[in-house]
Amino acid sequence: MNDGRPKVLIIGGGFGGLFCARRFGKLDVDVTLLDRAACHVFQPLLYQCATGTLSIGQISRSLREELADHHNVTTLLGEAVRLDPTARQVTARRPDETTFTLEYDYLVIAAGMRQSYFGREEFAAWAPGMKTLDDALSIRRRVFAAFEIAETLPPGPERDGWLTFVVSGGGPTGVELAGQIRELATRALANEFHEIEPEEARVLLFDGGDRVLKSFAPALAGRAADILKKLGVEMHFGVHVTDVRRDGVTVTRKGGGPSEDYAARTVLWTAGVEAVPFARHAAEVLGATTDRSGRVAVNPDLSVPGHPEVFVIGDLAGRDGLPGVAENAMQGGLHAAACIRRDLSAQPRKDFRYRDLGSAAYISRGHALLQAGPVKFTGLLGWLSWGFIHIAFLTGVRNRFSTVTTWMASIARANRSDRTFILGGSGHPEEPYTWESPVHQGHHSTRDGSERVPDSAAG
Ligand SMILES: Cc1cc2nc3c(=O)[nH]c(=O)nc-3n(C[C@H](O)[C@H](O)[C@H](O)COP(=O)(O)OP(=O)(O)OC[C@H]3O[C@@H](n4cnc5c(N)ncnc54)[C@H](O)[C@@H]3O)c2cc1C
């Protein structure tokens, strides 16, 4: 395939990587876009997929399909695992664990962040984060299965545990998830069960700060808190979730004092992010410095100090004033491509200037926040603006049309068209939602509260 033209290797097909790749369309370079998921995911709508409004197909698009018209761009499925900056090679792993090597003249690292459990990785088994399609489907399974399991239990603490949902982290994702679970319980599920009252489901939101949505103006965040309260979300501030178990969490006050236990069978984690492992490795071998979360320090043109051929963009770019939002990643992708173009035409590079176009957060049906410089919207106006922005940036015309249609149907009928979840194959030996789980080997409580022996022993 290569005919001596410069080789550009982009790691990650998120907002940064995709926008970068698109810019090389007609340029005399060979571009390889490597992604561990082979698709572009529109992360801002992951929570709608997790709570049954949208399908995974509506919020994602195959990178191969998206870039089919870019004949000099090759898309590959693989996870970058090793970087050799001297040989200018990246080793990638296929899903079957075998590896292959890719060479580059320019490397653009756009691999994003993953959920951080602040060193308590064991929490992940019980408290999925919200970064990937897998996470969204895992949360969907947990949320909808919790109502189903509660329906089969007699009234009492066990049933209450299944009807209690904990969200750790009061940023936009935590707020969106908490609001959506209450909305689900009070609207879509309200009249569908016979033994339980879904409206009684408790949603507890824990955050270490003193308010939700710290990145928004206090007045907007206050408005969001009022709406969440009205929806029935129980908010606890100044606290950290310090333990997560199969059947609940422990919460500790930041200022000290006794810890409190809460029984909850569904715990969702949105409290922090950290660089993906490849980015940490790359920083190390490139001799670059990183911040506490693993963001890589970059020059004003987004290249790595001492390595003008390597760019770090998007969430991973560690530079003052660059927020972890899609707009920064998209602009960074375009900028890295522009720098490479300028190099190839022997023009000097320009510094990256991030233009803040504002941010938005969804709270509940009819309520969203929009903040763009002096412009601040809440309520219906915020909601309509939020919808317009999300549709505008959703990848793929088909996805845009089908998402608008789905939204209109769910507004009109209060239903959620994508509630299907699958059981089994979670890969976790103690995962409670698989038919292979150890529940089969233990005792089962029946709806009247009595215990029955496992089927295999009954006969
Ligand atoms: C739930 C959620 C809601 C959000 N809501 C908003 C919002 O409303 N507005 C907003 O502006 N921003 C929002 N964001 C933030 C926004 O999505 C990110 O800032 C943006 O996605 C960052 O883009 P990126 O290209 O840096 O990384 P990402 O979009 O995360 O893309 C990284 C890509 O790299 C791939 N990858 C990772 N490791 C490897 C590897 N080793 N090898 C190969 N590929 C790899 C991944 O598969 C992924 O495709 C939200 C984020 C989340 C998680």
Percent of the chain with pLDDT over 90: 75
- Whether 125 has a pLDDT exceeding 90, the answer reads no
- Give the pLDDT of residue 426: 57
Mean pLDDT of the region 183-211: 96
Q: Could you tell me the residue ranges of all domains in the chain?
A: 7-115+274-345, 121-271, 359-412
pLDDT band at 433 (very low <50, low <70, confident <90, very high): low
The number of beta carbons lying within 10 Å of the beta carbon of residue 183 is: 22
- Whether 334 has a pLDDT exceeding 70, the answer reads yes
- Give the pLDDT of residue 430: 62
Alpha-carbon span 249 to 255, nearest angstrom: 18
Alpha-carbon span 34 to 273, nearest angstrom: 22
- Give the pLDDT of residue 298: 98
The whole-chain average pLDDT of the chain stands at: 90
pLDDT band at 383 (very low <50, low <70, confident <90, very high): confident
| 104 vs 432 pLDDT, higher one | 104
The number of beta carbons lying within 10 Å of the beta carbon of residue 135 is: 20
- Whether 445 has a pLDDT exceeding 70, the answer reads no
- Whether 440 has a pLDDT exceeding 80, the answer reads no
- Topology (CATH) of 121-271: FAD/NAD(P)-binding domain (3.50.50)
Bridge partner residues of 100 (DSSP): 92
Alpha-carbon span 246 to 163, nearest angstrom: 14
- Give the pLDDT of residue 3: 67
- Give the pLDDT of residue 199: 96
Residue 15 CA, ligand 1 centroid: distance in Å: 7
- Whether 140 has a pLDDT exceeding 80, the answer reads yes
Mean pLDDT of the region 383-394: 88
The number of beta carbons lying within 10 Å of the beta carbon of residue 258 is: 6
Q: Which ligand 1 atom lies nearest to the CA of residue 42? A: 17
Mean pLDDT of the region 30-53: 96
Tell me the C-alpha to C-alpha distance, in Å, between residue 11 and each of 8, 54, 188, 254, 333: 10, 27, 40, 38, 11
Asked whether the domain spanning 121-271 has the same topology as the one spanning 7-115+274-345, the reply is yes
Which residue lies with its CA nearest to atom 27 of ligand 1?
112
Ligand 1, residues 325, 356, 359: which to mutate, most atoms within 8 A of Cβ? 325
Q: Is the CB of 330 under 6 A from ligand 1?
A: no
E strands, 146-295, are 164-168, 202-207, 233-237, 239-245, 248-253, 260-263, 266-269, 273-275
* CATH class, 7-115+274-345 region: alpha beta
Bridge partner residues of 75 (DSSP): 33
